[in-house]
Amino acid sequence: MKQITSVAEMQAEARQLLKRDVTIGLVPTMGALHEGHLSLIRKAAEENDEVVVSIFVNPIQFNDSKDLDNYPRTLEEDLALAEDAGATIVFTPEAEHMYHSDNETMVQVTRLTNHLCGIARGSGHFIGVCTVVAKLFNIVHPDVAYFGQKDAQQALVIQRMVRDLNFPLKVEICPIIREKDGLAMSSRNKRLTDEQREEALALFGALELGKELIESGEKNSLTVINQMCEHILAHGDIEIDYMNIVSTETLDDVETIDEMVLLAGAVFVGDVRLIDNMLVDPAC
Ligand code: AMP
């Protein structure tokens, strides 16, 4: 496995690979790799000749500078894990090399970002995500890019950007990988104390409760949301950032649940922000 830190070198490498007519899978990450990331890398390795894993804590997608500073960074471990899972190249650019100091070009998906994390974290968050992912696509030239359903809104937004800007690649969305007790794996889980780790489970518990209610016939979103929020508040010292039931296509709030919906939540456990979601089909 090669580690490439320079943008120009990564572009030159991608040009060589394109000449050799090999397929390239790209897995964009912010590092602190865990089984969730590794599942994407393994899938990319199954389906492509070359697998590029980018590790870049993208400063422009953070609305909170403390969150950026506290974001876990574990590069040495990440390199070993990525190689083991099948990465052939790890791309680890420095922020100064990714963004010119007078950078003034940004990519914005206008409507899908006007919901959930796009409201909670501010409009700059998804502009930052789309801009860095568009840059990675231009640098790496992947045939397929792999994203996790864990960040359901992000995956949908990237799919829309790829369609709208005619990026010549396929986006694959892979399932959420959870700990045995259901907690969605996240780099941020590393920052939880043992007690907070227990409390954080309430988010998954709420999603399970919502699923149960909908599958047993509850159609009123507000009723379901209220019970999910009650569940969370009863299970720990957690602040709810948002808890919504939305359309899987537009992310608009759904009032009456007649078809597949996305239950999406974000909470703060201490100062650690966690998100999770679940697709629920009332016909099940
Ligand atoms: P991040 O490093 O958090 O930006 O995540 C990089 C990619 O890994 C994104 O596409 C995430 O959706 C995906 N990912 C993160 N956690 C999980 C998980 N628990 N299960 C599946 N994919 C995940």
Query: Residue 256 is encoded by which pair of tokens?
Result: 């009456």
- Give the phi and the psi of residue 52 in degrees, each rounded to 5: -100, 125
Task: Kindly list the domain boundaries of the chain, sorted by start residue.
Answer: 2-174, 187-275
What is the per-residue burial (b if ≥16 Cβ within 10 Å, else e) of 46-84?
eebebbbbbbbbbebbbeeeeeeeebeeeeeebbebbbe
- Could you tell which of 41, 150, 278 is best to mutate to test the pocket of ligand 1, judged by most ligand atoms within 8 Å of the CB? 150
- Could you tell which of 27, 29, 37, 147 is best to mutate to test the pocket of ligand 1, judged by most ligand atoms within 8 Å of the CB? 37
Pocket lined around ligand 1, Cβ cut-off 6 Å: 29-30, 36-37, 39-40, 147-148, 150-151, 174, 176-177, 184-187
- 37 labelled catalytic: yes
CATH of 2-174, one of 3.40.190.10, 3.40.50.620, 3.90.930.12, 3.30.870.10: 3.40.50.620
HSE-up (13 A, CA, CB side) for residue 163: 7
Segments in the chain forming alpha helices (H):
7-19, 35-47, 65-70, 75-85, 95-98, 116-120, 124-140, 152-164, 194-215, 221-234
Computed over every residue of the chain, the mean pLDDT equals: 97
pLDDT, tens digit, for every residue of 232-255?
A: 999 989 999 999 999 999 999 999
pLDDT, tens digit, for every residue of 74-101?
A: 999 999 999 999 999 999 999 999 999 9
- Answer yes or no: are the C-beta atoms of 41 and 88 closer than 8 Å: no
**187-275, superfamily in CATH?**
Pantoate-beta-alanine ligase, C-terminal domain (3.30.1300.10)
pLDDT reported for residue 284: 84
Q: Band of the pLDDT at 158, cuts 50, 70, 90? A: very high
Sheet holding 261-269, edge to edge: 238-247, 261-269, 272-280
pLDDT reported for residue 68: 96
pLDDT reported for residue 145: 99
Atom from ligand 1 closest to the CA of residue 178: 19
* pLDDT cut 70: percent of the chain above it: 100
